[in-house]
Structure 1
Amino acid sequence: MQTNKITRWLALGVLGISATAFAGVPDTVVTTTQIGIAKPEPVNAFVPVVNPSTEPDSEAINILYPTLLWIGRDLKINLKRGLVESIDVSRNQRTFTLHLKPWRWSDAAPVTAADVVFDVDLIRKAGKRYAFYGVGDMPQIIKSVKALGPRTVEITAARQVNVHWFEYNVLSQLRALPKQQWQGYSIDYMVKHVADPAMVKVVDGPYKLASFVNGRYIRFEANPLYSGHKPTVRYFEMRFYTTAQAEFGALKTGELQIGQISPELYAARHLVSNLKSIPTSGGYSMQRIMLNMREGDVAFFRNDKVRQALEAAIDQPYIINTLYHGLSAKAYGPVPAAPPTYLSPTARKLTAAELYNPKRAAALLDEAGWKLVNGVREKDGKTLHFTLQAAPANSAVAQVIARNWEALGIKVALRTETFNTLVGTLYNHKAHWQAIIMGWIYGPNFYPTGEGLFNTTGGNNNGSFSSPELDRLIQASTRDPGVESLYRYEDAAHRLLPVLFIPWPGMLVKYDPKLGGVDRFVNPTGLYSPQYLYYKSPS
């Protein structure tokens, strides 16, 4: 007995995980995707750079290949939790020198500056196939990147930049990738193998990929050579559910140790009263109705007054209080209200004001030439009608908004599609669509300027909105020091409405009371930290 016990201690010591971690307590934590942020959706890819820019994919990727910089729940860089030890900025504020911590790959090889340069090279080669093309003006914003030594990277911006923006929106995207293993792969090969476990055998994150079953689950095993905070739970698994009801059922039966209650199931929270709770506002996120400016049948979306009318007609108080049970905030612009770190003074007033105004909406439609004829808005012999698409998670709010618009004489056809179908539609410029509800989580663009989202050439400007004024203001917010330029951009976005802004639903996170570290695991920026989870001692 004594010999076996010593052997176990030695074995676990070699793994780099404390022996108490697995002694007498469960070795697995099971959860799902988008905890504290949104209803669950599946992971479809886990190879960085060429993955679709979806939150579940990003969650999986950051567990395997964490970004160099860690942005915490306070929206500040926490160097203790990232791969970077320090950052030096040149006098002209265009050259950034990153000093890396001693870090290892899961095969024991050192992580080097060359692995970071390799990541930038891949992003450049991917071009518009890069997951966050245009966000942070990537990759064009980087003039040069070079390794000055084994653990020193020098990155020079192509133009004058706001230092805060460059760190939070550009450097925040970068990570080390295993050059030794991947240097022979083309971008085409990576795209074709974006969900191939063989691609991610060597990682530098807290967990390695153990198994992946498309449409069912992704399972991770603790990386014993992880250079950061050592995991104490051996296995971490994210299961995929197609509905909030299925997730709630798994939470109720104990299949999930961490889950959440979405707004439509809030009244049933007493059924899991044995679990601990963390209420969230839904993350540092923006919920929007994207409007396709390219479609000739809905050319009226290009009219400022029509968009302003549609926004004014949305009953946000009803959505927040009835659908979301108060776990949300009003949204009248691109910058989230919770936390209010980057809200302009004007935006703060708007958040506190009541802008739901169907009378003003009707007047704006009249001014735009859309008159009410027998209960229907008409102009030049055409009726004001369009199709609104939403994933099942947003079907309830879509119905409320459609009723709001129909009360003004606008005909709205609702169509429910899977989340994956909608993502595929948005990123296929040959696809025909008119309006789609889709969220955006501010990461890796933690400083919420609109580059990549609302500028004319933005890679995630899926509706092709274009405004020279907004383009100038977005550019200024990335260039000028301070936050005044950011404020001017967000105030203009409220007025110009590149999309329609609606509240993002909050979530009530529920978890097993025997589980600790959940507050560090959940992050409003969508970055999972399973290495901080632990089971409390039975005693």
Structure 2
Amino acid sequence: MGTLTLAMVAVACTGGGNGAITNGASAKPAKGPVKRGGTVTIAELGAAPDFIFPLPPATNQNGYNANLTEAMWPYLVYAGDGAKSVVNKEKSLFTSLDYTNANKRLTIRLKSWNWSDGRPITSRDFSFVYNLLKANASNWNAHLVGLFPEDVSKVTTPDAHTVVLDLTKAYNPDFYTDDVLSTIPLLPQHAWDKTSATGTVGDHDTTTAGAKAVYAYLQKEGAKTTAFATSPLWQVVDGPWKLAEFRTNGYYSYVPNTAYSGSAKPVLDKVVLSPFTTDTPEINALRSGSSLDVASLPLNDIKQAEALKSSGYSIASVPIPGVSGILPNLHNSSVGPVLSQLYVRQAFEYLINRTQIVSKVYNGYADPGNGPVPVKAGGPWVSALEKADGPYPYSPDKAKALLQAHGWKVVPGGTTTCENPGTASSQCGAGIKAGQALTFDLVYSSGRATTDEQNAAIKSSEAQAGITVNLRSEPFNTLISKIGTCTAQSHPSSTCGWQLAEFGYDPYPLYPNGTGFFDTGGYNNAGGYSDPKMDQLVKATEYGSSAQAFTAYEDYTARQLPWLWLPLREGLLVYRTKLQGVVPLNPFSSANTFEDWAYSK
């Protein structure tokens, strides 16, 4: 939820109106001799990681944690190669993935790499992860009901570098590789398979009780922010970087893992992530030219581009593969019945002037937000419907007509109320009482002036149909601590009292279907949207590779509005011109490839 990494926050547009800006999708690192060593300081805007164990609990939806951990414990499948939407085989942990038995058997052959303590990475490390998740899947924040590990009927490890998965279903190999295996890290069984700090390492994970005890211990340790950089547990890594320092305000730094087995060895001595709570001090630091090497340029400061270029910075643009929207809580005790009415969500969407927001708020640097797949970064997956402005282009007249047709007294500039309660097609709908007002509270992540401007514009445009939107911004970490996943069965007031929420955006994996976003029980489905047809359409994209099946899912989702679609803002990546390897930036992974960066001589 709201993963805002360097690769996600500082990425930018695919085109645009300033000569100082290049397209990061096609830009190439400068050629020439490089020098070893040096420190790079990167601005991290928004929030701080708060968990280091790479399998966070279901209650922790802080997307910044992947920013911290993926450089140390990369996923089995490394998503993205530069700006290319492909699997990066060089940085992945496998040598081959073979789907056989009509795509119901997967044979994974692991690279002969080592952990940082010199011990080999083996198939036992995979079975360790599998055993932990099999016993604790419901307490893993990336868990999708029915997928890994439930979809594995048997795991065998014929040798130290081979894993065979017998699957319960025949999956689309693109989906399973791109969206499932790219969420599974390998973890050091020889160092972490214990149930307490003083306990001995063993094969505890091979029993359900033991796996639960190990998982509970690692999750408890994973929340101790003051020990992130000092605990012996987190010193055993297989990625190119090790954590050198971590402060609770979000400042942290990496140093090279000198035992890294990959071919791209780190050249820099140190990488520092420096936190900024708002974009104003960040732009001030860039203007000073001394403290930051890499940062995002706030879109409201676009006029600074030329000045920064003359100060030794380059500015690159990269498309963002993701989706932005306002999440409606369909199970809120007061407004859930209203938001559950599709026509209400349609009216709300008709009143969001996305085209104007892109132009006036983001200076043209944003995806139009016409549906669940980004138009600019969606590649071949974007449907004709989304390319043609989506199903709900801005139309206040259509919004008013919808509400009037369903029994509402529309008061432009005032408060629209239900005057014809009931469940007939011309009435307000189930659970809506006479006099119910179309008044909603919208909470959103603070720190960006453009987000404030966007939501102020939405508040103003919704008022045209008498819809009142009360705005409240909060720091990202505070926001996600109050937003729980709300369903008809479970919606405690402490985490389900919210009505509308906006986190920024959510990044997509390589295969941009709605698994985990819009299906029942999805980890990003905080508002509790549930629709059997949606579930069926999402599953069709998982099991088959039909382009028609994907379009059917995409267009249905665009029309059903499980989220209220918003423009997907684009940042601009600012980096020192003498720093090579920064672009093209990988927008598909939280692990920025710092090992590819180096200063020119």
Q: 1:49 aligns with which of 50, 55, 58?
A: 55
Partner residue in 2 for 1:8: none
Opposite residue 256 of structure 1, the aligned amino acid is: L
Note closer, same or farther for the CA distance 1:177–1:520 as it changes in structure 2 (3 Å cut).
farther
Note closer, same or farther for the CA distance 1:286–1:205 as it changes in structure 2 (3 Å cut).
same
C-alpha displacement of 1:458: 1.8
Partner residue in 1 for 2:217: 189
Partner residue in 2 for 1:434: 499
CA separation in 2, counterparts of 1:279 and 1:136? 37
| 1:65/1:205 contact within 8 Å kept | yes
Note closer, same or farther for the CA distance 1:347–1:177 as it changes in structure 2 (3 Å cut).
farther
Partner residue in 1 for 2:379: 341
Stretch of structure 1 that moved more, 422-431 or 250-259: 422-431
C-alpha displacement of 1:21: 7.0
Stretch of structure 1 that moved more, 378-387 or 428-437: 428-437
C-alpha displacement of 1:454: 1.2
| 1:30/1:258 contact within 8 Å kept | yes
Is residue 316 of structure 2 the alignment partner of residue 278 of structure 1? yes
Map Cα deviations across residues 321-354 of structure 1 (whole Å, 9 max, x no partner): 1111111121121112232324343344334898
Opposite residue 341 of structure 1, the aligned amino acid is: G
Opposite residue 417 of structure 2, the aligned amino acid is: E
C-alpha displacement of 1:180: 0.9
CA separation in 1, counterparts of 2:67 and 2:437? 43
Q: Which secondary structure state, in structure 1, belongs to the residue aligned with residue 365 of structure 2?
A: coil
| 1:28/1:234 contact within 8 Å kept | yes
Greater per-residue helix proportion = 1
Partner residue in 2 for 1:9: none
Q: Which secondary structure state, in structure 1, belongs to the residue aligned with residue 542 of structure 2?
A: helix
C-alpha displacement of 1:271: 4.1
CA separation in 1, counterparts of 2:598 and 2:575? 12
CA separation in 1, counterparts of 2:175 and 2:294? 34
| 2:323/2:373 contact within 8 Å kept | yes
Q: Which secondary structure state, in structure 2, belongs to the residue aligned with residue 455 of structure 1?
A: coil
Note closer, same or farther for the CA distance 1:338–1:118 as it changes in structure 2 (3 Å cut).
farther
CA separation in 2, counterparts of 1:424 and 1:124? 26
Q: 1:60 aligns with which of 68, 71, 74?
A: 68
Stretch of structure 1 that moved more, 134-143 or 420-429: 134-143
Is residue 78 of structure 2 the alignment partner of residue 70 of structure 1? yes
TM-score, reference length from structure 1? 0.90
Partner residue in 1 for 2:17: none
CA separation in 2, counterparts of 1:95 and 1:74? 28
| 1:337/1:351 contact within 8 Å kept | no
CA separation in 2, counterparts of 1:371 and 1:141? 50
Partner residue in 1 for 2:120: 110
Map Cα deviations across residues 21-74 of structure 1 (whole Å, 9 max, x no partner): 765xx52111033xxxxx432122221011634332112111010111122132
Partner residue in 2 for 1:251: 286
CA separation in 1, counterparts of 2:405 and 2:158? 61
Opposite residue 302 of structure 2, the aligned amino acid is: Y
CA separation in 2, counterparts of 1:377 and 1:354? 21
Q: Which secondary structure state, in structure 2, belongs to the residue aligned with residue 490 of structure 1?
A: helix
Is residue 528 of structure 2 the alignment partner of residue 528 of structure 1? no
| 1:521/1:530 contact within 8 Å kept | no
The aligned runs of 1:388-407 (5 Å cut-off) are 388-392=442-446, 393=448, 394-407=451-464
CA separation in 2, counterparts of 1:359 and 1:166? 44
Opposite residue 44 of structure 1, the aligned amino acid is: D
Partner residue in 1 for 2:465: 408
Is residue 183 of structure 2 the alignment partner of residue 129 of structure 1? no
The aligned runs of 1:85-484 (5 Å cut-off) are 85-134=95-144, 137-185=147-195, 186-194=214-222, 195=225, 196-197=227-228, 198=231, 199-228=233-262, 229-253=264-288, 254-273=290-309, 274=311, 275-281=313-319, 283-298=320-335, 299-351=337-389, 355-373=393-411, 375-379=414-418, 380-392=434-446, 393=448, 394-427=451-484, 429-430=491-492, 431=495, 432-443=497-508, 445-484=509-548
Partner residue in 1 for 2:4: none
C-alpha displacement of 1:464: 0.6
C-alpha displacement of 1:521: 4.9
Opposite residue 261 of structure 2, the aligned amino acid is: S
Note closer, same or farther for the CA distance 1:508–1:348 as it changes in structure 2 (3 Å cut).
same
CA separation in 2, counterparts of 1:246 and 1:158? 52
Opposite residue 151 of structure 1, the aligned amino acid is: H
Map Cα deviations across residues 151-188 of structure 1 (whole Å, 9 max, x no partner): 11112222121121111111111221011111114222
| 1:89/1:96 contact within 8 Å kept | yes
CA separation in 1, counterparts of 2:392 and 2:137? 43
Task: Give the RMSD, CA atoms, in angstroms.
Answer: 2.1
Note closer, same or farther for the CA distance 1:222–1:516 as it changes in structure 2 (3 Å cut).
same
C-alpha displacement of 1:470: 0.7
CA separation in 1, counterparts of 2:277 and 2:562? 30
Map Cα deviations across residues 163-219 of structure 1 (whole Å, 9 max, x no partner): 211111111112210111111142222222224421311000010011100114111
| 1:306/1:368 contact within 8 Å kept | no
Q: 2:562 aligns with which of 489, 498, 516?
A: 498
Q: Which secondary structure state, in structure 1, belongs to the residue aligned with residue 591 of structure 2?
A: coil
| 1:136/1:166 contact within 8 Å kept | no
CA separation in 2, counterparts of 1:278 and 1:452? 31
| 1:137/1:452 contact within 8 Å kept | no
CA separation in 2, counterparts of 1:433 and 1:448? 27
Number of equivalent positions: 509
Provide structure 2 residue ranges, at least 5 long, that are not aligned to the other structure.
1-32, 196-213, 419-433, 486-490
Stretch of structure 1 that moved more, 98-107 or 181-190: 181-190
CA separation in 1, counterparts of 2:119 and 2:501? 46
CA separation in 1, counterparts of 2:179 and 2:219? 24
